[in-house]
Structure formats: structure tokens, C-alpha cells
Amino acid sequence: MPNMSLKKVPAPEQKPEVRNKNFEEVTLCYTYEMAVTEAARCLNCKHRPCVGGCPVSVQIPDFISLISKGDLNGAFEAITATNSLPAVCGRVCPQENQCEEKCVRGIKGEPVAIGRLERFVADTHRALGAQRPNKIATNGHKVAVIGSGPAGLSCAGELAHAGYEVVIYEAFHRPGGVLMYGIPEFRLPKAVVLDEIENLKALGVKVETNIVIGKLFTVNELFDEMGFEAVFIGSGAGLPNFMNIPGEALVGVSSSNEFLTRINLMKAYDENYDTPIRHSKNVAVVGGGNVAMDAARSAKRLGAENVFIVYRRSESEMPARTEEVHHAKEEGIDFRLLTAPVEIIGNENSTVKSMKCIKMELGEPDSSGRRRPIPIEGSEFELEVDSVIIAIGTNPNPLIAGTTPGLKTNSRGCIATDDNMKTTREGVYAGGDAVTGAATVILAMGAGKQAAKAIDEYIKSL
Ligand code: FAD
Ligand code: SF4
């Protein structure tokens, strides 16, 4: 019997006043009963609009109907046939703009909670100590993957399934890309990411950390001296943008990348680690995306009394996921919308003491389609803060492009590719944020997967 409730089964959550003091996961997993009740809301539509909304075409009605039948192994197999990181995607994908946006149950009421169900299947599979996949017999061909974020991991997984010997080279000491160094533990526990990476290793993928391509080896050396027949670049977009306003060099100003890397990868929130981090009373986070929400919520958890999100447009233009904005508000983050920084002011020790801001109003849409913010003359004011975290976007690091002759990039430093993720350098493919600029986990995974298909065709054609 279908469950015709207009509302999703709510996911259990830590209370806001408790969770804003710890780094444990905010949203908890459905129980079996909750998952089966929610799965019964799916109508198993013949035309499958939800599948069309998923960038990697997970066969959503199939896995949901297997949950209803209690076949959780079958559900896991149905998801992982096209998505190699289900526990990650179930947690961080913007489902509200993808599969759930297309769900017919959303026309009258809330869509089916596809993300929560995906996470339930992945988490249950892990909790039951499911077997690692078997190593695949090698076809003798070698491919190098640069970067171990979702693009590199999905490309490596697809190629390993096809029998390729894949080595991932990662600059950091731990693999996972933004999943490890950017997205905080309270949204995406690192044990979940590392477990998904273990599955890839079981297939035969080798992961070499602390290796910066462009410094230790060049792309040309991967071909000429190390015997790789193709290379995939999934090096992300880790170079932070700054505002270019006075005061950005003051003590107490940092990029969200640096702040979040210290917290996530270097565990600055854990007293057993001696990673230095600034504990501030009043923090301004500039930006309105997921990164800004993560930085603000992390600053609150480190003990800040007041954390401000300073964003120059209104809430409806905010790029952050609705759920993240909602959670941030519940946790006491103070949103200063239609507000732009003009100067960061320091004290006699060159340390931040306040940020001068100006009020904005919205004009006509700009090239991004969002309404252009226009300063309101004479509306300047000072926000008293002792730290400023800048989260206004990132671009790709130029290191690899600068050391790979023949590899073209665009004006933002993004690697140029054709529709099959083939770059302008023979045998080199690229995907994820390194190509698109900062985007999403699932788009990076989709690009990695598409590149793997193109690499397979390329090597077979040699
Ligand atoms: P990355 O994840 O950036 O991985 C690239 C890897 O390459 C890194 O590990 C890097 O160290 C390595 N590398 C770089 N240069 C070299 C080199 N020269 N040699 C060797 N290795 C190198 N997306 C969502 O869908 N949902 C979210 O909720 C969400 N939240 C986010 C929160 C934060 C704080 C951030 C920063 C991003 C968030 N995103 C989110 C975006 C998403 O994480 C990225 O779009 C995605 O991780 C891009 O994947 P990627 O594999 O292209 O690159
Ligand atoms: Fe189920 Fe919604 Fe997909 Fe229809 S659109 S099959 S109701 S998840």
C-alpha cells in the first residue's frame, strides 16, 4: 500500500543547542522502520522523472522498491551500479535541485526523501560489515589519476572495474579531496569517506599520498618515465579568491579553505591534536555558499559567541543548500544579508578589530542570472569582529597546467576539455572542479565517470 502522506518521514537530528557545541554528525540515519515507511511514499512512476534529475542516473525507483521489499543488499547493488560513493552522496548532494526536484510527489506535498533513503542503504550496508568488493583481474594497462576528490575517485573506480591498473596521486597526506579537507565532520564523517575509499582499494586502485604532480613528477614524466598510457586530472579548484579590499592581510583574516583544512584534515577541534587555530569571540564569514555555511557553523562549534554570515545578495540568491542555511540559522548563526564588506580594520597589533560594511539593494539580473547587488550610498556601518573568514569562491591551482605543455586552460584557469573530458594534450583527460570551477560532488563524480569511459576507448584505440 503506498503511503500517501504529504510529508517526508523526518530524519532524526541532534538538537541545535547541543550540536552547535560538538563536531558529531547533525542529521542521523533513518531506522529500518522509518526507511520502509518513507520508501512506501514512492509511486514507482513508469516515466521515472527522478532518474532524469540525477547526474549519474541512479535507478531511484528500483532501489526504493527493493527497500520496501526488505532487500537492502539488492538496493545497495542497484545504487552502486552507477554511483560509487552512495554514503557521501546521500549526505551532501543537493537533492532538492536534482532528483527530488523532479519527484512527482513534490507537486502536492514534499518529494520522496531520496537522499535520506540512499544514505540509509549505504550506512546499513557498512554497519552490517558488508564484504569489500573483490579485486578485478588486470588488463595490463596503466592509468594515472591526479587528485583523490570525487572526480578522481569515481574515474579510478570505473577504470578499476574495467581492469585497468590505476594509481591515484594525491598532494595531501590523506585521500578524499574536499570530502576530507573541506566538508566538516558534522556533515560528512571522515570514517564514511575513508570507508568508501577502502572499497576502491579493494578493487585494486593504488593511492599514493603526499605527491604533488607538477612538483615531484610532471604529467609528461607520468607518460614517459612511469609507463602510464593515459592521465586523468581531477585536481579540483583549491585556490581561494579574496575580495581585494583594504585589511585582508591583517592577523585574523583567513580563507575558508585554510580555516576548514585546519579543522577537518588537521583536526584542530580535537584537543588530542596540536593544530593551531584562532578561537574568536565574534566572527564574520563572507559569502553565501555551502562553504560559508560550513565555516560559520565550524566557528560556532569552536566557541565563538557571535558568528555573522555577511552576504551581498538576499537569501533567495544564496547558493548554499536550503538544508544548510536552515541548520545554520537553527544553530544561532546571524545572517547579515544585502551587506558587503568594504574594509577590514585592524588594531595597533595589526589584528582584526572590526569590518566596515555597506548595505546593498538588488537591481537587474547580471550575467549569472541573479539580481545585481548595488551599494546604498551612505549606509556604511562597522561590525565588531575579531576574525574574518573569506568564502567567496575558489579557482583551480595553476601548477599542473603550468607544467604540462599543450594543456589549454580558460581565463579562470579551468582546464579546457571537449564533451568527453578530453583535454588539448594527447592522452590527458580532466574533470570535476578543475574543469568547471567550484561545483558539486555529484557533478565531479559524473565527470570522472565519463572520462573513464573516454580513457577506455582511447587506450583500446592505441
Ligand atoms: P576536490 O574534491 O577538490 O579534489 C581534488 C584533489 O586533488 C584534492 O585532494 C587536492 O589535494 C588534489 N590535488 C590538487 N592539486 C594536485 C596536484 N598537483 N597533485 C596531486 N594532487 C593534487 N558539493 C556538494 O555537492 N554538496 C555539498 O554540500 C558541498 N559542500 C562543500 C563544502 C565545502 C567547504 C567545499 C570546499 C566544497 C563543497 N562542495 C559541496 C563542493 C564539492 O566538494 C566539490 O565540487 C568537489 O569536491 C569537487 O571534486 P573534485 O574531485 O573535482 O575536486
Ligand atoms: Fe518515486 Fe518520486 Fe521517482 Fe516517482 S518521481 S519514482 S515517486 S522517487
> Is it the case that residue 130 has pLDDT exceeding 80?
no
In a domain, 418, yes or no: yes
Quote the ligand 1 centre to 189 CA distance (angstroms). Answer: 16
Please indicate whether residue 44, judged by its CB atom, sits closer than 6 Å to ligand 2.
Answer: yes
Q: How far apart are alpha carbons 150 and 128 in whole angstroms?
A: 24
Q: Which domain holds residue 31?
A: 16-127
Task: Supply the DSSP symbol for 95.
Answer: G
Please indicate whether residue 247, judged by its CB atom, sits closer than 6 Å to ligand 1.
Answer: no
In a shared domain, residues 55 and 70: yes
Quick: pLDDT tens for 314-359: 999 999 998 999 999 999 999 999 999 999 999 999 999 999 999 9
Quick: pLDDT tens for 439-450: 999 999 999 999
In a shared domain, residues 267 and 327: yes
In a shared domain, residues 93 and 147: no
In a domain, 156, yes or no: yes
In a shared domain, residues 174 and 58: no
Please indicate whether residue 43, judged by its CB atom, sits closer than 6 Å to ligand 2.
Answer: yes
In a domain, 196, yes or no: yes
Confidence of residue 208 (pLDDT cuts 50, 70, 90): very high
Quote the ligand 1 centre to 68 CA distance (angstroms). Answer: 34
- Report the percentage of the chain scoring pLDDT > 90: 91
For the CA of 421, the nearest ligand = 1
> Is it the case that residue 169 has pLDDT exceeding 90?
yes
List the residue whose alpha carbon is closest to atom 5 of ligand 2: 103
Q: How far apart are alpha carbons 455 and 63 in whole angstroms?
A: 29
List the residue whose alpha carbon is closest to atom 53 of ligand 1: 236
| Cβ atoms of residues 266 and 174 within 8 Å | no
Please indicate whether residue 439, judged by its CB atom, sits closer than 6 Å to ligand 2.
Answer: no
In ligand 1, the atom with minimum distance to the C-alpha of 172 is 11
Quote the ligand 2 centre to 43 CA distance (angstroms). Answer: 6
Q: How far apart are alpha carbons 95 and 113 in whole angstroms?
A: 9
In a shared domain, residues 55 and 100: yes
Quote the ligand 2 centre to 61 CA distance (angstroms). Answer: 6
In a shared domain, residues 387 and 420: no
In a shared domain, residues 166 and 73: no
Among 123, 143, 118, 257, which residue's Cα sits nearest to residue 189? 123
CATH number of the domain encompassing residue 73:
1.10.1060.10
Please indicate whether residue 175, judged by its CB atom, sits closer than 6 Å to ligand 1.
Answer: no
List the residue whose alpha carbon is closest to atom 2 of ligand 2: 103
Please indicate whether residue 112, judged by its CB atom, sits closer than 6 Å to ligand 2.
Answer: yes
Q: How far apart are alpha carbons 447 and 144 in whole angstroms?
A: 16
Quick: pLDDT tens for 240-260: 999 999 999 999 999 999 999
In a shared domain, residues 34 and 115: yes
Written as nine digits, the cell of 331 is: 544553530
In a shared domain, residues 247 and 388: yes
Q: Given 364, 392, 420, which residue is the final one in a domain?
A: 392
Number of structural domains found in the chain = 3
Q: Residue 40 is which amino acid?
A: A
In a shared domain, residues 171 and 300: no
Pocket probe for ligand 1: among 99, 145, 168, 178, the residue whose CB has the most ligand atoms within 8 Å is 178
Quick: pLDDT tens for 86-124: 999 999 999 999 999 999 999 999 999 999 999 999 999
Please indicate whether residue 397, judged by its CB atom, sits closer than 6 Å to ligand 1.
Answer: yes
Question: In sequence order, which residues have a C-beta less than 8 Å from that of residue 90 and are 6 or more positions away?
Answer: 115, 116, 117, 118, 119, 120, 121, 122, 123
* pLDDT given at position 88: 95
Q: How far apart are alpha carbons 146 and 175 in whole angstroms?
A: 11
Q: Given 333, 368, 392, which residue is the final one in a domain?
A: 392
In a shared domain, residues 337 and 401: no
Please indicate whether residue 105, judged by its CB atom, sits closer than 6 Å to ligand 2.
Answer: yes
Read off the pLDDT of each residue in 26-48 and give the average, rounded to a whole number: 97
In a domain, 231, yes or no: yes
In a domain, 135, yes or no: no
CATH number of the domain encompassing residue 329:
3.50.50.60
Read off the pLDDT of each residue in 134-154 and give the average, rounded to a whole number: 96
List the residue whose alpha carbon is closest to atom 1 of ligand 2: 42
Q: How far apart are alpha carbons 345 and 338 in whole angstroms?
A: 20
* pLDDT given at position 175: 97
In a domain, 6, yes or no: no
In a domain, 3, yes or no: no
In a domain, 332, yes or no: yes
Confidence of residue 131 (pLDDT cuts 50, 70, 90): confident
In a shared domain, residues 263 and 346: yes
Neighbours of 366 (CB within 10 A): 10
pTM of the complete model: 0.95
Q: Which residue has the cell 612511469?
A: 226
Written as nine digits, the cell of 186 is: 558534522
Q: Given 392, 413, 446, which residue is the final one in a domain?
A: 392
